[in-house]
């Protein structure tokens, strides 16, 4: 194999089975998902007549495993598929689906066997809610795993020494075709004022990449007799846990309290620039993050793109973003607000399209 090809491998402690995979990130294109493929290496002498299996699973966890009490599990298996790889049920050539599998089989020899899984199109992407600074472990997360193990049968009790786990991720990239740049306007009339206040806000596009600045154009025409004391612009992340509670967590991941004022009868047109980054939100509980692999960092969660007709209840955690523009209006009896919101999509570009952009920018991590 070429030196450029990185192979991920992991062996069970008793050396009975090992997993070899060419990649650990699999792309969800909404209408289809990249299949999961790899090779299982077995040692027949260690197996001693046992069978070898490989399992693909998607798990939603909303509490640490050591918190399980009274038989209540804080985890739910969203999807599980199991294949027997040894003794092989099919001929090796018939079971080989990719060129990389073929290369691995030739390199590893006769005791290597291919496996192949196709993702259903209704599974969530890898995402989790960031725990607080004093929390131990991940509190709420959707994870994918490839597990290989040896046992008398797939229902039999499996020894930890005969099991190997390899975490993988299911990811989405930004679509190539962006929608219309969001724009919104509103007017507010006040008691004892003959004329209204007008607020208009717009973005320069609908899709932004992680680490890319977001330009928000704000246009205020204050024909009223009220004074605008402050303009607050934020990028909000909305993470909805749809699997068990439908709770929504709204967090401002980028915020500017400008202090800009607009007196009665005056106007203001200004572009505010905000850049939502994980580096500015590392200590905040409940921020949704893209799934990460061991020893790797991650970024703010990408927007969720859901295939039409899929039941959202099985999708674990759904993430969306919006820009909020608020005008703080002064008054004798206290302040009031006039606000608008603009939806946006925050994702990674497809690797072949965004390599140059990411090389020069990153996500501050």
pLDDT tens profile 63-115 = 655 444 444 457 788 899 999 999 988 777 777 788 888 899 999 999 999 99
Q: Are 58 and 142 in contact (CB under 8 A)?
A: yes
Query: Looking at residue 138, what is its pLDDT?
Result: 54
Distance CA 169, CA 126 (A): 6
- For residues 140-161, give the mean pLDDT: 90
Token pair of 25 as six digits: 């990130």
pLDDT at 1 over 50: no
pLDDT at 189 over 60: yes
Q: Which long-range contacts (CB under 8 A, 24 or more apart) does 92-97 make?
A: 97/35, 97/37
- For residues 156-161, give the mean pLDDT: 88
- For residues 316-322, give the mean pLDDT: 91
Peptide bond into 198 cis (omega under 30): no
Percent of the chain with pLDDT over 70: 87
Token pair of 11 as six digits: 């062996």
What SS3 state is found at 295? coil
Region for 211 from its dihedrals, namely left if φ exceeds 0, alpha if ψ lies in -120 to 50, beta otherwise: left
Q: φ, ψ for residue 187 (rounded to 5)?
A: -130, 150
E-strand ranges in the chain read: 8-11, 17-21, 25-27, 36-42, 51-61, 75-86, 112-117, 127-129, 140-151, 163-171, 183-188, 197-203, 207-209, 214-222, 228-241, 247-257, 267-274, 288-290, 317-329, 336-347
How many Cα neighbours within 13 Å face the side chain of 56? 18
Residue whose token pair is 């194999």: 1
Distances from the Cα of 154 to the Cαs of 52, 78, 87, 157, in angstroms?
9, 19, 13, 8
Distance CA 26, CA 38 (A): 13
Q: What is the pLDDT of residues 26-51, one digit of tens each?
A: 988 877 888 999 999 999 999 888 99
Query: Looking at residue 359, what is its pLDDT?
Result: 37
Give which of 7, 17, 143 is closest to 77, Cα–Cα.
143
Distance CA 238, CA 341 (A): 13
Report pTM. Answer: 0.83
Give which of 195, 177, 175, 179 is closest to 187, Cα–Cα.
195
Query: Looking at residue 192, what is its pLDDT?
Result: 81
Mean pLDDT is highest, among 5-9, 100-104, 195-199, for: 195-199
Q: Which long-range contacts (CB under 8 A, 24 or more apart) does 63-69 make?
A: 63/139, 63/140, 64/136, 64/137, 64/138, 64/139, 66/137
Give which of 223, 232, 175, 170 is closest to 346, Cα–Cα.
175
Query: For residue 123, what is the DSSP state?
Result: P
Query: For residue 179, what is the DSSP state?
Result: -
Query: Looking at residue 361, what is its pLDDT?
Result: 39
Residue 156 contacts by C-beta under 8 Å, 6 or more apart in sequence? none
- For residues 164-181, give the mean pLDDT: 89
Give which of 196, 183, 255 is closest to 226, Cα–Cα.
196
């Amino acid at each position: 194999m070429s030196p450029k090809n990185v192979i991920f491998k992991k062996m069970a402690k008793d050396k009975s089975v090992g997993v070899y995979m060419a990649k650990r990130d699999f792309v969800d294109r909404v209408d289809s998902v990249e299949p999961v493929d790899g090779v299982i290496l077995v040692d027949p002498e260690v197996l001693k007549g046992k069978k070898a299996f490989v399992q693909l699973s998607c798990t939603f966890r909303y509490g640490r495993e050591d918190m399980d009490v009274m038989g209540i599990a804080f985890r739910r298996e969203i999807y599980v598929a199991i294949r027997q790889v040894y003794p092989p049920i099919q001929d090796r050539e018939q079971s080989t689906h990719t060129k990389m599998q073929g290369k691995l089989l030739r390199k590893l020899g006769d005791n290597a066997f291919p496996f192949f899984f196709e993702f259903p199109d209704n599974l969530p992407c890898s995402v989790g809610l960031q725990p607080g600074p004093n929390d131990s472990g991940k509190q709420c997360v959707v994870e994918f795993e490839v597990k290989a193990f040896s046992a008398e049968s797939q229902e039999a009790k499996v020894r930890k020494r005969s099991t190997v786990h390899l975490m993988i991720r299911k990811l989405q990239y930004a679509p190539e075709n962006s929608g219309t740049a969001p724009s919104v306007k509103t007017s507010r009339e006040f008691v004892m004022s003959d004329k209204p206040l007008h607020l208009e806000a717009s973005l320069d596009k609908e899709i932004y990449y992680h680490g890319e600045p977001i330009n928000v154009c704000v246009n205020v025409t204050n024909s009223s007799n009220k004074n605008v004391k402050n303009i607050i612009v934020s990028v909000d992340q909305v993470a909805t846990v749809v699997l068990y509670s439908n709770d929504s967590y709204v967090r401002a991941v980028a915020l500017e309290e400008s202090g800009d004022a607009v007196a009665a009868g005056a106007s203001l047109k200004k572009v505010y620039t905000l850049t939502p980054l994980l580096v500015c939100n590392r200590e905040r509980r409940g921020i949704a993050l893209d799934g990460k692999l061991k020893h790797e960092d991650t970024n703010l969660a990408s927007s969720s793109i859901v295939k039409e007709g899929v039941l959202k209840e099985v999708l674990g955690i759904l993430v969306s973003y919006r820009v909020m523009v608020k005008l703080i209006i002064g008054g004798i009896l206290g302040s009031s607000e006039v606000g608008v919101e603009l939806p946006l999509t925050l994702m990674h570009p497809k690797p072949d399209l965004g390599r140059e952009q990411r090389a020069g920018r990153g996500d501050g991590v």
